[in-house]
Amino acid sequence: MFAQSVARAGFGALVGLCLVAAAGCGGAGGGGGSGGGGAGKAAATANVPTKLPSGATLGCAEAPADSCVYGGAASAPAGLKAVNINTKISADMFKLQDPLTLVTDKAAPGGKYIALPTGTGGTSALGGDAAVAVTVPQDGYYVIWAGTQSGDTTTGTDSLFLGFDSTGPSADIDHVWSLNPDNTWHQNDSTGGCVQLVHAGKNDAPNGCDTWHFKKGVLVIHLSGREDDSRVAWLDVAPASAAKPLGDARG
């Protein structure tokens, strides 16, 4: 499981990551995002908090704190087309590298998901890359909602690597994203339907969403396989909500 995995050699830089006990989650209700979010959706995002919402902490704890700010690029990397926030980013919109695989499954949200094939995962090596670019309309604090599932509840294969910007995930510097290991698709809920990092010590158990500080411009989100059959069907970057820490900021 996660606590034991993170304690292994090579994950020293992961243990300083912060947990959001009551993050400013701005997920969509029901289907996980507006689906058709265009330029109007991004431009209408006037309520992005510019200060960390009360009760929330950043999705990292590196020093200095400014090193935890991501995004701000002028354009998307070659091969990626930037999509707006408040948009359901489906599994087939990611640029994939082996061994990550796009799986068709009518039971999954949207009918497809990204996963590591069974037998190819581990806890100390990256498994491929899934990249997508997002246009962030203004500097501020955001939450990443998702449709997630752990494909195997018997051995606890319930984590991915998460990274930002052009370099992608790295097993020694980036984040371990924990999923709820119950073989159920989670969407828009704090028990698995948003990014929750693995932490050492008293905060090791996932609890709530992590809040991220993103800059205006293009942000690149990278997923990499860690444990077998951890699945992601979609992502949605949404503004954090200062008034409703786990509520829908978009109405």
Q: What are phi and psi of 65, to 5 degrees?
A: -60, -30
How far apart, in whole angstroms, are the C-alpha atoms of residue 227 and residue 150?
9
Which range is least confidently modeled, 6-10, 57-61, 107-111, 202-206? 6-10
Q: pLDDT by residue (tens digit) across 154-163?
A: 666 778 888 8
User: How far is CA 249 from each of CA 33, 155, 187, 200, 243, rounded to the nearest angstrom?
Assistant: 11, 36, 16, 30, 8
pLDDT for residue 94: 97
pTM: 0.77
Q: Is the pLDDT of residue 198 over 80?
A: no
Mean pLDDT of the chain: 73
Q: Is the pLDDT of residue 82 over 80?
A: yes
Q: Which amino acid is at 66?
A: D
pLDDT for residue 37: 36
Q: Is the pLDDT of residue 42 over 80?
A: no
Q: Residues 213, 68: contact at Cβ < 8 Å?
A: yes
How far apart, in whole angstroms, are the C-alpha atoms of residue 48 and residue 9?
38
Q: Residues 195, 238: contact at Cβ < 8 Å?
A: no
Q: Which CATH number fits domain 2-239: 2.40.50.100, 3.40.640.10, 3.30.710.10, 2.60.120.260?
A: 2.60.120.260
User: How far is CA 21 from each of CA 207, 219, 245, rounded to the nearest angstrom?
Assistant: 6, 25, 9
How far apart, in whole angstroms, are the C-alpha atoms of residue 178 and residue 163?
14
Domain boundaries, the chain: 2-239
Band the pLDDT of 153: cuts 50, 70, 90.
low
Q: Is the pLDDT of residue 77 over 70?
A: yes
Which range is least confidently modeled, 36-50, 61-75, 129-143? 36-50
pLDDT for residue 3: 36
Q: What region, left, alpha or beta, does residue 80 occupy, with left being phi > 0 and alpha being psi -120 to 50 degrees?
A: beta
**Residue closest to 152 by CA, chosen among 182, 122, 190:** 182
Q: Which amino acid is at 213?
A: H
How far apart, in whole angstroms, are the C-alpha atoms of residue 134 and residue 23?
21
How far apart, in whole angstroms, are the C-alpha atoms of residue 199 and residue 15?
5
Q: Residues 196, 88: contact at Cβ < 8 Å?
A: no
The most distant pair of C-alpha atoms in the chain lies apart, rounded to whole Å, by: 47
pLDDT for residue 171: 67
**CA quadruple 31, 34, 35, 39: dihedral, nearest 10:** -170
How far apart, in whole angstroms, are the C-alpha atoms of residue 57 and residue 182?
26
Give me the mean pLDDT over the 163-172 stretch.
Answer: 77
User: 246 versus 4: which is more confidently predicted?
Assistant: 246
